[in-house]
C-alpha cells in the first residue's frame, strides 16, 4: 500500500516572527500587488472573527471533502503562531471546524484557521474574536475517517500554498507569501504603503496629478472631448 494521500509530515521552516508581526499592519492588497497580483485567494472567503486580521506560518492540511480527522491532528501538532490552512476542496455540505476545535486551538496558541470549506458554531469565532476565514457555514457536521495529508502543498481559493508560507488575511481575503520571498515582499509592500499615504494627502490637498488617465486613453486611441 502506498501512503501518498494519507501522510502526516512535520513543518520544518517558518517565517521570522518579526516579519509575521509586521504583516499584522499591512493590508493584503499591498502584499499581493507586490507579487504581480497573481498570488492570493479569489473572492469568497469570509472572516468569522471581528478583527478580520490574521498572520502566521502556514501549517497546511488537505482533507477528504467533509472529513476533519486531519484537522484534529493538525490542532494537536501545530505550534503557537501557526495558521492552520485547510484545503477541503471548497466542500460546503459538511462543516469541518467548530467551537471545540476553536477552543483547543486557542488554548495551544495557534494563530487561526483558513478553511477552503465550511465551519459551524460560527458565533463562537465572532464572540471570542478567534481568527477564522471560511467559505460558509452549515450545522451539518464532519466525518472523521480520513484520508488526508498534513504539511504538503495545497491550494485554497485557486492559490497555491506551501507549508511554512507567510499567511496574511484581512477583510479583502488571504495571501500566502512564499517563504524565500517573504522579507522582500513585505519591504516592497511597506514602501507602497508610504506611497499610498502620500497619495491620500495629495487627494485631501487637491494636488494629485491625474494627467496619466487622459494620457493612457490617448495612447489607446480613445477620442476625448
Ligand atoms: O465535531 C467537530 O469535529 C466540529 C465541531 O462541531 C466542534 O469542534 O465543535
Ligand atoms: Mg461543535
How much of the chain is in helix, strand and coil states, percent to nearest 5?
A: 30, 30, 40
Q: Mutation test of ligand 1: which of 61, 67, 100, 121 has the most ligand atoms closer than 8 Å to its C-beta? A: 100
108 Cβ contact partners less than 8 Å away, ≥ 6 residues apart: 75, 78, 80
| pLDDT tens-digit readout, 157-207 | 999 999 999 999 999 999 999 999 999 999 999 999 999 999 999 999 999
| Confidence tier at 2 by pLDDT (50, 70, 90) | confident
Please tell me the predicted confidence (pLDDT) of residue 1.
Answer: 76
Provide, rounded to the nearest whole percent, the portion of the chain with pLDDT above 90: 99
Does 106 sit in the ligand 1 pocket, CB within 6 Å? no
CB of 63 closer than 6 A to ligand 1?
no
Supply the ipTM of this predicted assembly.
0.97
Is the CB of residue 94 below 6 angstroms from any atom belonging to ligand 1? no
pLDDT given at position 104: 98
pLDDT at 128: 97
pLDDT in tens, 41-91: 999 999 999 998 999 999 999 999 999 999 999 999 999 999 999 999 999
| pTM for this entry | 0.96
Residue 101 is labelled as binding a ligand: yes
Distance CA 43, CA 13 (A): 28
Q: Where are the alpha helices (DSSP H) in the chain?
A: 17-23, 28-33, 69-77, 99-107, 122-127, 182-205, 211-219
pLDDT given for residue 98 in this prediction: 98
Distance CA 25, CA 37 (A): 19
Q: Buried b vs exposed e over 116-131: b needs ≥16 C-beta within 10 Å?
A: bbbbbbbebbeeeebb
Indicate if ligand 1 lies below 6 Å from the C-beta of 68. yes
Ligand 1 atom with the shortest distance to the CA of 104: 8
- Average pLDDT score over residue span 14-36: 97
- Ligand 1 atom with least separation from CA of 120: 6
Amino acid at each position: 500500500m502506498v501512503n501518498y494521500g494519507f501522510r502526516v509530515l512535520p513543518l520544518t521552516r517558518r517565517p521570522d516572527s518579526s516579519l509575521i508581526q509586521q504583516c499584522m499592519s499591512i493590508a493584503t492588497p499591498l502584499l499581493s500587488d507586490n507579487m504581480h497580483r497573481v498570488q492570493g485567494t479569489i473572492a469568497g472567503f469570509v472572516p468569522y472573527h471581528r478583527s478580520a486580521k490574521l498572520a502566521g506560518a502556514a501549517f497546511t492540511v488537505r482533507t477528504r471533502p467533509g472529513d476533519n480527522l486531519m484537522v484534529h491532528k493538525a490542532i494537536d501538532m501545530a505550534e503557537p503562531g501557526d495558521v492552520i490552512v485547510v484545503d477541503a476542496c471548497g466542500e460546503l455540505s459538511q462543516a469541518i471546524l467548530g467551537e471545540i476545535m476553536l477552543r483547543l486551538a486557542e488554548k495551544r496558541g495557534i494563530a487561526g484557521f483558513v478553511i477552503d470549506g465550511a465551519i459551524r458554531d460560527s458565533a463562537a469565532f465572532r464572540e471570542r474574536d478567534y481568527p477564522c476565514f471560511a467559505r460558509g457555514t452549515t450545522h451539518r457536521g464532519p466525518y472523521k475517517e480520513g484520508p488526508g495529508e498534513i504539511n504538503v502543498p495545497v491550494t485554497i481559493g485557486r492559490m497555491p500554498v506551501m507549508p511554512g508560507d507567510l499567511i496574511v488575511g484581512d477583510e479583502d481575503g488571504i495571501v500566502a507569501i512564499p517563504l524565500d520571498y517573504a522579507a522582500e515582499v513585505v519591504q516592497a509592500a511597506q514602501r507602497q504603503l508610504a506611497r499610498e499615504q502620500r497619495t491620500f494627502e495629495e487627494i485631501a490637498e487637491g494636488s494629485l496629478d491625474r494627467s496619466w488617465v487622459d494620457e493612457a486613453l490617448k495612447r489607446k486611441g480613445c477620442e476625448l472631448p
